[in-house]
Amino acid sequence: MRTGIIVFPGSNCDRDIEVAIKKFSNKNPIRLWHKDTEIPNLDLVVIPGGFSFGDYLRCGAIAAKSPIINAIKNHYSRGSAILGVCNGFQILLETDLLSGSLINNQNLKFLCKNVSLITQSTIESPFTRGLRSGSIINVPIAHNEGNYYANDQLLKKLEDKGQIAFKYLDSENPNGSKNNIAGILSENGKVLGMMPHPERAINTYHSSQDGKFFFKSLFNHLLG
Amino acid sequence: MKSTRINNEFFSLKKCSLKQAIKMGLTPEEFELICKNLKRIPNVTETGIFSAMFSEHCSYKSTKKWLKKLPTQGIQVIQGPGENAGVIDIGGNDAIVFKIESHNHPSFIEPYQGAATGVGGILRDIFTMGARPIALMNVLRFGETINPLTKHLLNGVVAGIGGYGNCIGVPTVGGETYFHKSYNKNILVNAMAIGLAKKNKIFYSKATGIGNPVIYVGAKTGRDGIHGATMASAEFSNNTEEKKPTIQVGDPFTGKLLLESCLELMKTDIILSIQDMGAAGLTSSSVEMASKGNLGIFLNLDKIPVREKNMSSYEIMLSESQERMLMILKKGSENEAEKIFKKWDLDFSIIGKITNNKKILLEKNNKTVCDLPLKMLVDEAPEYNRDYKIKNCNNKIHSKDIYIKKTIKEILFKIMENVNFGSKRWIFEQYDSSVMGDTVVTDSESNSSIVKVHKSDKNNFSGKGIAISTDCNSRYVKNNPKMGAMLAVIEAARNICCSGAKPLAVTNNLNFGNPEKKEIMGQIVATIEGIKKSCEFLNTPVVSGNVSLYNETNGKSILPTPVIGMVGVIQDINKVIKKNAKNKNTILILGQDDQKDDGWLGSSLYQEILYSQCDGKVPEVNLKQEKIIIDFLTQIHANDLIIAAHDISDGGLLPSLMEMLFKNNLGMNINLPKKLMNLNRSNIYKLHGWCFGEDQARILIATNDPAKIITKANKNDIKVFDLGITNKKSMIKLGNYDGFSTKKCYNLYESALPKILLD
């Protein structure tokens, strides 16, 4: 199994996700630079969190015009998996690999705290296959633009087709996201974008270790 | 100075008048001395360079004499004060680089940018030395909450700190915030950064090698922050708005690129010395580097990457544009370095070279625009022996004199919902505290903040951690600067120990008013004496620091605020002690002597909240006793006897106890000492003293094995009081006197900040 992490200028969770991937897959991911035009044959590409290009213009908008994006799209058409966390999710929306948009948090402030995520019942996907639907994992969020917005038509489609991977608990929706959405899948289930950071909840000293359920299930599947 | 003049090169090269020199911040005597030593009248650019170097911010002219007294040595010290930051040894090949710095004046004028660039500046100080920043802390002081400006400043400062720290990806893990009317027109924003480096890969600023190239990297130089260091070295009056052009504008994105590119270049061996362009920008960085190496420096100002056309030499030298570095490279390695900076899309320019003439020589348009001996700028910078008068308040306030006829519950609730005691969640949730994945606890969960030393974990060992605490109780410092400063250091040490770590070293940020006033200078002198005493006693040398003076507006000074930032180390992060007690724990007070401790309410939070004032003698300080208590805590923790710990400081025993019970929503029937069992209306004040007194050298612990601890304590001659056992009922009972719900307390505690912000 081979994994690659895309680094943009301003990415700042690349090291964190690298630690998590090593820990749970026992394999070293490769690093890809935003100016690269080709991606080798990989099973998983990760777009990490951060502030690519300083969030200037609009979160993820400039990164979505980087040379590597075409290569990511080719990787996608080969049927391989893509994970975008936080800014990675924002970038995936800007590239149209996922649908909808992420706007300012409802209270207009950056928010960093632990939240409870309910795993949803989804279409077949490497990201949710090993997770029990309805199970709750506790992981941190840290974002300013994590308020997921989509029109009613798209929301209905996401719900009906099982493209919603994670929802916030209704009582603690931290940012105003429509339908409490925290993470969504592409139509083929191979692309996941999520605002919360599972890579920050994997060690005994972390405030939660629930991120390990996510990574274990993902790599069990990919390592097959 | 009017911008229409300084942006004109012709005027930059004109002889400087006395009036212009004074406008730049020099005194008539200083300007006269410059002319005398130089044997000519300096031009405007040269005078600007003098005024920046002679500013309080760069020269420490009022405090140098006293700062020399601080203890700076120790086996753990790799680099003490005088570099970009202090460096200490934490074992193995690891070193910690840390420093605190103020950005007070700019943050009042423009809170978002002021605070953001404060964070950016301190981060550059850290990675300049070869360390990857791993944590940020901040100490904030605002005016009273009814002041309409306070809300605006609080919002802006918090957003600015988050804006920079979150974006660059360094976790903000703690700090403290305090509101008091003395900060109405002079807020304080002190930012501390901690970095991790390899002991054999520390970078310094001392220039070496005649003929070596001087390199400029990072952002372009613009017309922002011009003469910022001078602005920060003067009092405010009513025209602070006019000072907006002196404010720097930060760009954390460029900061991140600069951080990564510098660390990448540092993996090679081509950097000989490096210094960030912080206060007084290109002026202080070039002067300091050359002067430390006892060499000279030549710069061609036409080579400086500039943001705007036609910038004058004056503007280029005095600009405080952010995210810029100056470095000296090995000759011939320029191309290799340039490649790295180009990869990160940063400007790279060879702007000059190191010379042997011990001068700073600047050229623009083929004309010499500055020719000054470095000695005059550094060694011969003014140093003042200012008059001082130390004032202490010796009026001991007895609880009988101050107690207020309210129930304990009513007072406790008032303390809980007070913004100075209540939760700072509204602030800390706006900071990314978990990026980098190494945060173990923030100071909302433990007494200090702890981050893991990256990659220190092996097999089944989770790794070691760095503990950080920032402290200063200005009520104490105001009423007795020496004792107050001693207690600030002590409290920091207590906090580090209450997290299970061992204190190692200190950085300090001395925030005061106008040192030309005897009383203010007295506060400074006595404060330094106090820090020295505690730091010597605890063997925690001061390895870096910052002084911010003239925090005054229209002659009114802030409360003296000498902030202590202490770092320590914990060998096993799985042994971190948190604040929250669990069900069925016994709560003990270590160091509680009911014969002696009478409930010290002078200078307390009780006094401040109920009387809106704070005077009276500060609590007694007994360094020996403090050390006995923290050593004992460390010892019983080594025996795994502690579930949770919390030091008793602001607010006294009862509020501190409540903070231990909140998380698990616990209740307790609190045991009272015999002498408080049957009080009546005439002596109920004793209970107030007991609940809210701020007697020092006391720590609350939660344990499952009280008997063992009490036996050990008796052997060590340490007084212990058994407060009772926690239960799940969420009700606190205080003998027959009072009862209240933990939940209600917690709700008040959490409401403190949102309440003032929504008002």
For the segment B723-758, what is each residue's pLDDT rounded down to a tens digit? 999 999 999 999 999 999 999 999 999 999 999 887
Transcribe B523-590 into DSSP letters: HHHHHHHHHHHHHHHHT--EEEEEEE---EETTEEPPPEEEEEEEEEES-GGG--BS---TTPEEEEE
At residue B2 the predicted structure's pLDDT band, cuts being 50, 70 and 90, is very low
pLDDT at site B279 = 83
CA-CA distance, A114 to B441, in Å (whole number)?
Answer: 13
pLDDT at site B5 = 55
What are the chain A neighbours of B255 within 8 Å (beta carbons)? none
User: Which residues are A116's β-sheet partners?
Assistant: A138
Burial of residue B589 (number of CB atoms within 10 Å: 0-12, 13-18, 19+): buried
Which of A12, A49, A110 shows the shortest C-beta gap to B256? A12
pLDDT tens digits, residue range B118-165? 999 999 999 999 999 999 999 999 999 999 999 999 999 999 999 999
Mean per-residue pLDDT for B705-727?
96
Q: Is the pLDDT of residue B18 over 70?
A: yes
Start-to-end CA span in chain A (Å): 9
Which of A9, A12, A205 shows the shortest C-beta gap to B435? A12
Both tokens of residue B584? 């069925």
Q: One digit per residue, pLDDT tens: chain A, 224 residues? A: 899 999 999 999 999 999 999 999 999 999 999 999 999 999 999 999 999 999 999 999 999 999 999 999 999 999 999 999 999 999 999 999 999 999 999 999 999 999 999 999 999 999 999 999 999 999 999 999 999 999 999 999 999 999 999 999 999 999 999 999 999 999 999 999 999 999 999 999 999 999 999 999 999 988 87
pLDDT tens digits, residue range B458-478? 888 889 999 999 999 999 999
pLDDT tens digits, residue range A66-121? 999 999 999 999 999 999 999 999 999 999 999 999 999 999 999 999 999 999 99
Mean of pLDDT over chain B: 94
Distance, in angstroms, between B453 CA and closest chain A CA? 12
Tokens 């003239």 locate to: B550
Domain boundaries, chain A: 3-223
CB A183 within 8 A of CB A146: no
pLDDT at site B225 = 77
Chain A residues within 8 angstroms (CB to CB) of chain B? 9-10, 12-13, 15-16, 19-20, 49-51, 53-56, 109-113, 140, 142, 144, 197, 199-200, 202-207
CA-CA distance, A181 to B490, in Å (whole number)?
Answer: 47
Q: Is the pLDDT of residue B612 over 90?
A: no
Distance, in angstroms, between A100 CA and closest chain B CA? 24
Question: What is the gyration radius of the CA atoms in chain A, in angstroms?
Answer: 16
**What stretches of chain A adopt beta strand conformation (E)?**
3-7, 30-33, 44-47, 81-85, 101-103, 111-119, 136-143, 147-149, 164-168, 181-185, 191-194
Q: Kindly state the percentage of chain B with pLDDT values over 90.
A: 88
pLDDT tens digits, residue range B390-422? 999 999 888 888 888 899 999 999 999 999 999
pLDDT tens digits, residue range B209-229? 999 999 999 999 998 878 776
How many CA atoms, within 13 angstroms, populate the side-chain half-sphere of residue B60? 17
Test B434 with A53 for CB contact under 8 angstroms.
Answer: no
What are the chain A neighbours of B437 within 8 Å (beta carbons)? 15-16, 19-20, 199-200, 202-203, 206
pLDDT tens digits, residue range B486-542? 999 999 999 999 999 999 999 999 999 999 999 999 999 999 999 999 999 999 999
pLDDT at site A6 = 98
Residues of B annotated as catalytic are 57, 103
Q: Is the pLDDT of residue B169 over 80?
A: yes
With vertex at residue B512, the alpha carbon angle to CA B511 and CA B514, rounded to the nearest 5 degrees, is 145
Mode of pairing for the β-strands spanning A3-7 and B586-590: unpaired
At residue B1 the predicted structure's pLDDT band, cuts being 50, 70 and 90, is very low
Q: What are phi and psi of B121, to 5 degrees?
A: -65, -45
Task: Assign domain A3-223 to a CATH class.
Answer: alpha beta
Helix axes B653-661, B408-416, angle to 10 degrees: 60
Mean per-residue pLDDT for B112-117?
96
Test B253 with A56 for CB contact under 8 angstroms.
Answer: yes
Q: Is the pLDDT of residue B577 over 90?
A: yes
Assess: ipTM above 0.90: yes
pLDDT at site B4 = 45
At residue B759 the predicted structure's pLDDT band, cuts being 50, 70 and 90, is low
pLDDT at site B244 = 65
pLDDT at site B243 = 67
On whether any CB of chain A is under 8 Å from the CB of B429, the answer is yes
At residue B597 the predicted structure's pLDDT band, cuts being 50, 70 and 90, is low
CA-CA distance, B702 to B710, in Å (whole number)?
Answer: 13
